[in-house]
Chain A
Amino acid sequence: MTATIYIPDDSGALALGAHKVAKTVAAEIAARGLDARIVRNGSRGAYFIEPLVEIATAAGRAAYGPVTARDVPSLFDADFLSGGAHRLSLGDPEQIPFIARQTRLTFARCGITDPLSLEDYEAHGGLAGLKKAVAMAPADIVKTVTESGLRGRGGAGFPTGIKWKTVLDTVGDRKYIVCNADEGDSATFADRMIMEGDPFVLIEGMTIAGVATGATRGFVYIRSEYPHAIAKMEKAVAIARRAGMLGVNVLGSPHAFDMEIRSGAGAYVCGEETSLLNSLEGKRGVVRAKPPLPAIQGLFGRPTVINNVISLASVPIILDKGAEHYKNFGMGRSRGTIPIQIAGNVRHGGLFETAFGLTLGEIVDGIGGGTRSGRPVKAVQVGGPLGAYFPRALFDTQFDYEAFAARDGLIGHAGLAVFDDTADMLKQARFAFEFCAIESCGKCTPCRLGSMRGVETIDRLASGVEPGKQIELVTDLCNTMKFGSLCALGGFTPYPVMSAITHFPEDFKPHPVRAAAE
């Protein structure tokens, strides 16, 4: 029997040498005259053991990792093709604690299947949701999504079903489904992983959205920093089209839906939905005022569903297993699962999909295993560059939209950047302003100019010029930005700044050594 060797071609695995491993494995297969084939799967998301090589054996999968090209000959010597023992053996990948503890709904196939095999996709439960959807009345699909409690996973947490209903109820000669894959927040990579590891689930989710709202055309706007995801999605769309999953008769039904992949051009603000729509239209990615809501007047002025990758990729399982199934996970008003991305200075970094409700401490210490440097955790930034820095004292905060908001934070796209005790929070606050200045679209004065003034004020504080007054100024400035900006870039930059000042005041005190050094 031909042995099957799984070697990820997810960007994260590639960054750790997966290509070299695959090349070396191929060379060994040829040199030893073995009957084996290599499948380039996505990643399971446990980056601390990537590149994670898996073998399909009669007894299930056997995993080895982290594998370097140098380890490959010894793996063959140890007969890893039959699951032989080796110092890199990890046994059944499903039993690796980081993986076993997860609840994988959206990422059920990611890292397991061949991302570009539609047969593999279907064999692992794919297309079941769309098959049900094409036989349902559009309003019933929308109802199912609404009842599941799914909220926008891009950060704002707006109920997905409500958006869909508005588009369904709005008359238009043409409607659009736009997928926001402009995943620019640091510490987030869930969108990238799903697009590289299970692209058909996103295509299926978008197609269901099309069937549900009467939209016939979709766009996936992917940031240009993700060339591998763009390439994978383009291939997957072509395959889906050939197979009749996309086209004038989706899966043989009377519904028409097709889609296109578009590349961003390096503007963070285009992750904001109205700015993304302008960019797709070929304009400067400047934020639009709302109303009109995109659901009523979106892309090219037509009714448009604009959802994040993970929101759309969560739809197929909701249609397949039902709203109740999905809704039974989670807490409070945060229903279902959330792919938490544990990143930065952390021992066990990666993607961890779980029901809402874990505490920050359980995630960082329990699952993440503390810092990679081995030093104490000082701060965790949750939700990207616009998210708050949490100190250890707030590690009892539960992972839930409302719980984070109650502590002046946000879960955003659920990325966590862990910092050890060498972090200088004044520097982090300064960076938040600096980043806002670089990426501001320029529309709102508080964001465009406030961010620059913020950098200057923090610099004065750092050099010990009237520190009390500078803190007062920054606080006032943050207030102006928060209430005077149209979108989250200017409006949320105050979160990292003020959380750093509030929770780590010692870093903002006049510092004789710092003053002397500068």
Chain B
Amino acid sequence: MSMQPASTGIAERTAQVIEDLKGLEGPLLPILHGIQHEFGFVPQESLPVIAEALNLSRAEVHGVVTFYHDFRSHPAGRHVLKLCQAEACQSMGSDAIAAKMKQLLGIGFHETTRDGAVTLEPVYCLGLCACAPSAMLDGDVIGRLDADKLDEIVAEVRA
């Protein structure tokens, strides 16, 4: 993900992402993923460009972006930590794990630490249900979370 000051070239970079993907059947979701990959979130400034290119109304694009949990309206922290809160993890104490992590980081779910180090999110199932409780840190999976592993995660995101 390239970091440039906001607003410079958002429309141009959005147009480039669209150009690469608009030949697909049903291109909107791949385009939105592409834009989030490019900017780290889906900027408001991208929406009219997408609407224009796909011959949709801005309201339609807005409706799709806001429907899906994945698409962010603001940049996330440098790391994203997802803690599984679904039933299989609940049976292994994911509630307590989440409470502990919130305390260690000083933030709640859907929040980012002040230093921008990490965004904490709940996730409903990572498919790691036989090694619960589980988490995903920037795409890396972690199973059988315990106090030691939480400390390791905190050390890593703060490094």
> Chain A: residues with CB nearer than 8 A to chain B?
11-12, 14-16, 47-48, 50, 183-189, 191-192, 217, 224-228, 260, 262-268, 279-286, 300, 341-346, 349-351, 372, 381, 384-385, 415, 417-420, 423, 428, 431, 435, 438-439, 441
CB-CB nearest in chain A for B132:
A344
Q: How many A-B residue pairs have CB under 8 A?
A: 154
Residue B70 CB within 8 A of the other chain:
yes
Alpha-carbon gap, A296 to B14, bound state (A)? 36
List B residues 77-106 near A (Cβ within 8 Å): 86-92
Of B67, B123, B129, the contact of A225 (CB 8 Å cutoff)? B123
27 cross-chain CB contacts under 8 A: A12-B127, A15-B131, A16-B143, A183-B127, A186-B86, A186-B88, A188-B125, A191-B127, A228-B141, A260-B24, A262-B29, A265-B69, A265-B70, A266-B69, A267-B69, A282-B26, A282-B28, A285-B68, A300-B25, A344-B90, A344-B92, A344-B132, A345-B92, A417-B90, A417-B129, A431-B90, A435-B124
Chain A positions within 8 Å of B28 at CB level: 282-283
Chain B contact residue count (CB 8 A cutoff): 42
| B129 vs chain A, min Cβ distance (A) | 3
A191: chain B residues within 8 A (beta carbon): 127
A176 vs B30: C-alpha distance when bound (angstroms) = 19
Residues in B lying within 8 Å of A, measured CB to CB: 24-30, 32-33, 54, 63-64, 67-71, 86-92, 123-132, 134, 136, 139-144
Q: Which of B67, B91, B125, B139 contacts A227 (CB 8 A)?
A: B139
Distance, CA A385 to CA B124, complexed state (A): 10
User: Contacts A186-B86, A284-B63, A300-B25 known; A11 to B91 CB distance under 8 Å?
Assistant: no
Question: Which secondary structure dominates chain A's binding surface?
Answer: mixed
With contacts A15-B141, A262-B29, A344-B132 taken as known, whether A381 is within 8 angstroms of B71 at the C-beta atoms is: no
A16 to B131 alpha-carbon distance, docked (Å): 8
Q: How far is the CA of A186 from the CA of B123 in the complex (A)?
A: 11
Minimum Cβ distance to chain A for residue B104 (Å): 20
Contact at A344–B124, with CB atoms within 8 Å? no
- Interface contact A343-B29, CB-CB below 8 Å: no
Whether the pair B128, A15 counts as a contact (CB closer than 8 A) is yes
* B64→A283 contact, CB < 8 A: yes
A284 contacts B64, CB within 8 Å?
A: yes
Q: Are A12 and B67 in contact (CB under 8 A)?
A: no
CA distance A280 to B64 in the complex (A): 12
B92 close to A15 (CB less than 8 A): no
Q: Are B67 and A284 closer than 8 Å at their CB atoms?
A: yes
Q: Give the contacting residue for B143; candidates A15, A192, A265, A341; CB below 8 A.
A: A15
A186 and B124 form a contact (CB under 8 A): yes
* Given A265-B70, A284-B63, A349-B129, A420 and B91 contact (CB-CB distance below 8 Å): yes
Apart from the given pairs A225-B126, A349-B129, 16 other A-B contacts in the complex at a CB distance below 8 Å: A11-B128, A12-B130, A16-B144, A50-B131, A225-B123, A226-B126, A226-B127, A262-B30, A282-B64, A283-B28, A284-B63, A300-B25, A341-B129, A385-B87, A419-B91, A431-B87
Given A187-B129, A266-B70, A282-B26, A15:B142 Cβ within 8 A = yes
With A262-B29, A381-B87: A188-B68 Cβ-Cβ less than 8 Å = no
